[in-house]
């Protein structure tokens, strides 16, 4: 064994946060600013914005886990790209920001016993939205691709609007999901992570966490590897896991954390998506402007949400559902191509297991969700036709219509995996409780998409960040500024005070 391999790096902290994506970066910054000593560990790198080339194939390899080739097994197989690095998947996302729909929160309270509602979460949402400069896209920035959808929706009388996004000074480079080359997108790697560092948090990249150590029912350290094979140990009385929906259950399993609910790795919802192209008379130049800037929510109550999607020619060539001469002909008219996406709020549920150290993700589309895709594709066609499309290219094999499509005919991707360590007040039903504390383990919490107990029907980053904000303030025993005052929670470690007054000392590491 080399000297580098045998060396061990040891840190001490009040809280160790694992994963610097939507959930982890937020929790780390809020805790550090609240006075806690925080160590934030991220497996991926700090990406260098000077290397953001806006070229899709190149950036896919650089910014995405396994080059964006994570996929599910099932019918149909679904590509499930994940980000990796400071910012996690927020670095490569489209920037769309939705609060959790109130009906979903009501369901969480009723079905999973979670103590959340619109009013109590509002201060957390406000805080996140301010931190990320969330604002509605202007029609000028939205570009001509959005105009096509808008025209179609207006002619059909369908409910629609411009999306809210986390961006500042956006110039519409058109490549949000391939790394914003102007840093306009306010992902957590350039917002919350620097805030955490400024407040004294230690941020380690290339830190691959292998295990959370638990003794006598209490988490007290994490172990991992640093670049060069050095062993890493962070001793902390509180550990927050935020590795994302696919990797958090794996870390729990590797750490041999008891799962009394049997729910770890289960309940995976994906919000599966597809998209259609249309050939327009006008010049669209779909990559000029914000790719995801416009939505049509006329059928949201039926589980179908339509949102913009677009990209430069190298992207369109990969995504266009045509082959051979038809593909070449359509690509030669790239400037006239428009694209729009469909996402289905799924009732299908998948599950994860581990093969070697890799996740195997099983997910098959239910009949109910297949029906939503059939109806949704027909509506995409209607939308484009109403907008005046010359031709519509649906993502189906030649000769297959939406009505006759079976699951394996669909060309699906998914961007919003959730639920594999779901929160439920009952230890027999969920991996964490409503406060995101892992059932049965003191000092261990989860703050990422895995705790979200049901499909949302909308893009999830704000939900994850708001829940992470709420967790941080619970750990600090404070209310988020602007929040309605209510007594600090009766926590299982008995640290809440009877009078409900803030107790800011409690995060100090025991000597
Ligand atoms: C192309 C694309 C577009 C999207 N667009 C939108 C959008 O417009 N709006 C929206 O709301 N959502 C969008 N999403 C989804 C959104 O970005 C994610 O839901 C969100 O980032 C998930 O947050 P998370 O904290 O669960 O995980 P992540 O943000 O994925 O962060 C997890 C982090 O943990 C790290 N990690 C994993 N394992 C370990 C380990 N063992 N040790 C250390 N670190 C580890 C990972 O490297 C990663 O950085 C999009 C996703 C994609 C892929």
Domain ranges in the chain are: 1-47+85-93+98-131+187-265+419-511, 65-80+137-181+268-417
191: Cβ below 6 Å to ligand 1? no
What spacing in Å lies between the alpha carbon of 216 and ligand 1's midpoint?
32
| ∠ Cα 315 79 101 (to 5°) | 95
Phi-psi region of 284 (alpha: psi -120 to 50; beta: other; left: phi over 0): alpha
Q: Which superfamily does 65-80+137-181+268-417 belong to?
A: Glucose Oxidase, domain 3 (3.30.560.10)
Largest CA distance in the chain: 74
**Ligand 1 mean position to 466 CA, how many Å?**
15
Compute CA 90 distance to the chain's CA centroid, rounded to the nearest angstrom. Answer: 7
In a mutational test of the pocket of ligand 1, which residue from 244, 420, 464 has the highest number of ligand atoms less than 8 Å from its CB? 244
Ligand 1: distance of its center to the CA of 90 in Å?
6
Index of the ligand 1 atom closest to the CA of residue 82: 53
State the Cα–Cα distance between residues 17 and 222, nearest whole angstrom: 10
Quote the pLDDT of residue 7. 85
> What spacing in Å lies between the alpha carbon of 17 and ligand 1's midpoint?
15
In testing the pocket of ligand 1, which one of 25, 59, 93 has its CB within 8 Å of the most ligand atoms?
93
CATH architecture of the domain with range 1-47+85-93+98-131+187-265+419-511: 3-Layer(bba) Sandwich (3.50)
Cα–Cα distance for residue pair 509/348, rounded to 1 Å: 43
What pLDDT score was predicted for residue 356? 86
**Would the CB of 348 count as within 6 Å of ligand 1?**
no
75 CA distance to ligand 1 centroid (A)?
24
Neighbours of 465 (CB within 10 A): 29
Q: Is 282 exposed, middle or buried (0-12, 13-18, 19+ CB in 10 A)?
A: middle
pLDDT given for residue 509 in this prediction: 23
Neighbour order of strands in the sheet with 231-235: 8-12, 231-235, 218-225, 208-215
Atom 1, ligand 1: which residue's CA is nearest? Answer: 93
Q: Report the b/e string of 86-110 with b at 16+ CB within 10 A.
A: bbbbbbbbbbbbbbbbeebbeebee
CB 311 within 8 A of CB 319: yes
Taking the centre of ligand 1 as the mean of its atom positions, its distance from the CA of residue 461, in whole angstroms, is 8
Cα 65 to middle of ligand 1, angstroms: 10
Name the residue of 210, 461, 463, 469 to mutate for ligand 1: max ligand atoms within 8 A of Cβ: 461
Instruction: Confirm or reject: Cβ of 461 under 6 Å from ligand 1.
Output: yes
- The protein residue with its alpha carbon nearest to ligand 1, atom 46, reads 84
Q: Is the CB of residue 272 below 6 angstroms from any atom belonging to ligand 1?
A: no
Q: Alpha-carbon distance 391 to 381, whole Å?
A: 9
Among 210, 415, 436, which residue has the most ligand 1 atoms within 8 Å of its CB, making it the best to mutate? 415
Measured by CA distance, the residue closest to atom 15 of ligand 1 is: 416
Residue nearest to atom 31 of ligand 1 (CA): 21
Atom in ligand 1 nearest the alpha carbon of residue 96: 8
Binding site membership of 417 for ligand 1 (Cβ less than 6 Å): no
Q: How much distance in Å is there from the Cα of 244 to the middle of ligand 1?
A: 6
89 lines ligand 1 (CB under 6 A): yes
Distance (Å, whole) CA 171 – CA 141: 7
Ligand 1 pocket residue status of 205, Cβ below 6 Å: no
Which is nearest to 189 in space by CA: 93, 61, 70?
93
Is 92 near ligand 1, meaning CB less than 6 Å away? Answer: yes
DSSP state of 320: -
Residue nearest to atom 36 of ligand 1 (CA): 243
- In short, whether 90's Cβ falls inside 6 Å of ligand 1 is yes
353 alpha carbon – ligand 1 mean position (Å): 19
Q: What is the pLDDT of residue 6?
A: 61
Residues acting as catalytic residues: 416
- The finding on whether 86 has its CB within 6 A of some atom of ligand 1 is no
Cβ(56) – ligand 1 distance below 6 Å: no
Q: Are strands 238-241 and 15-18 parallel, antiparallel or unpaired?
A: parallel
User: What pLDDT tens digit does each residue of the chain (511 aa) get?
Assistant: 555 556 899 999 999 999 999 999 999 999 999 999 999 999 999 999 999 999 999 999 999 999 999 999 999 999 999 999 999 999 999 999 999 999 999 999 999 999 999 999 999 999 999 999 999 999 999 999 999 999 999 999 999 999 999 999 999 999 999 999 999 999 999 999 999 999 999 999 999 999 999 999 999 999 999 999 999 999 999 999 999 999 999 999 999 999 999 999 999 999 999 999 999 999 999 999 999 999 999 999 999 999 999 999 999 999 999 999 999 999 999 999 999 999 999 999 999 999 988 999 999 999 999 999 999 999 999 999 999 999 999 999 999 999 999 999 999 999 999 999 999 999 999 999 999 999 999 999 999 999 999 999 999 999 999 999 999 999 998 877 655 433 333 333 333 333 333 232 223 222 2
For ligand 1, say whether the CB of 81 is within 6 Å of any of its atoms: yes
Cβ 22 under 6 angstroms from ligand 1: yes
Q: 457 CB under 6 A from ligand 1?
A: no
Please tell me what DSSP assigns to residue 510: P
């Amino acid at each position: 064994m080399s000297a580098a391999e045998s060396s061990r790096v040891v840190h001490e902290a009040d809280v160790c946060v694992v994963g610097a994506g939507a959930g982890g970066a937020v929790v780390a910054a809020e805790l550090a600013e609240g006075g806690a000593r925080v160590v934030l560990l991220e497996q991926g790198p700090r990406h260098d914005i000077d290397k953001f080339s806006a070229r899709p194939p190149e950036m896919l390899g650089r910014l995405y886990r396994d080059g964006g080739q994570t996929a599910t097994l099932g019918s149909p197989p679904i590509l499930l790209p994940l980000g990796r690095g400071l910012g996690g998947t927020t670095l490569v996302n489209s920037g769309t920001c939705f609060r959790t729909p109130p009906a979903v929160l009501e369901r969480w309270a009723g079905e999973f016993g979670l103590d959340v509602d619109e009013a109590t979460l509002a201060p957390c949402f406000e805080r996140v939205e301010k931190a990320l400069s969330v604002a509605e896209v202007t029609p000028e920035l939205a570009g001509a691709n959005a105009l096509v959808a808008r025209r179609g929706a207006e002619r059909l009388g369908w409910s629609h609007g411009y999306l809210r996004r986390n961006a500042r000074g956006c110039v519409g480079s058109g490549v949000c999901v391939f790394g914003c080359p102007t840093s306009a997108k306010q992902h957590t790697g350039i917002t919350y992570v620097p805030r955490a560092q400024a407040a004294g948090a230690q941020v380690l990249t290339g830190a691959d966490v292998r295990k959370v150590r638990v003794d006598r029912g209490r988490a007290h350290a994490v172990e991992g590897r640093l670049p060069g094979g050095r062993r890493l140990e962070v001793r902390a009385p509180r550990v927050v896991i935020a590795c994302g929906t696919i990797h958090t259950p794996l870390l729990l399993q590797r750490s041999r954390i008891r799962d009394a609910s049997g729910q770890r790795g289960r309940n995976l919802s994906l919000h599966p998506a597809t998209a259609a192209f249309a050939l327009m008379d006008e010049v669209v130049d779909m990559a000029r402007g914000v790719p995801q800037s416009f939505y049509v929510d006329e059928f949201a109550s039926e589980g179908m949400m339509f949102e913009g999607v677009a990209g430069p020619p190298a992207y369109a060539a990969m995504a266009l559902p045509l082959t051979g001469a038809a593909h070449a002909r359509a690509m030669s008219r790239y400037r006239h191509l428009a694209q729009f996406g469909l996402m289905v709020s799924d009732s299908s549920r998948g599950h994860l297991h581990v093969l070697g150290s890799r996740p195997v993700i099983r997910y098959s589309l239910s009949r109910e969700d297949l029906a939503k895709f059939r109806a949704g594709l027909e509506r995409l066609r209607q939308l484009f036709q109403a907008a005046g499309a010359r031709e519509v290219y649906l993502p189906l094999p030649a000769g297959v219509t939406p009505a006759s499509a079976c699951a394996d005919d669909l060309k699906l991707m998914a961007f919003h995996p959730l639920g594999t360590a779901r929160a439920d007040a009952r230890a027999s039903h969920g991996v964490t409780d409503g406060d995101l504390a892992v059932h049965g383990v003191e000092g261990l919490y989860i703050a990422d998409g895995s705790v979200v107990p049901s499909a949302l029907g909308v893009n999830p980053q704000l939900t994850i960040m708001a829940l992470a904000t709420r967790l941080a303030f619970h750990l600090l025993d404070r209310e988020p500024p602007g929040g309605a005052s209510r007594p600090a929670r009766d926590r299982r470690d008995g640290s809440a005070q009877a009078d409900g007054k803030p107790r800011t000392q409690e995060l100090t590491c025991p000597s």
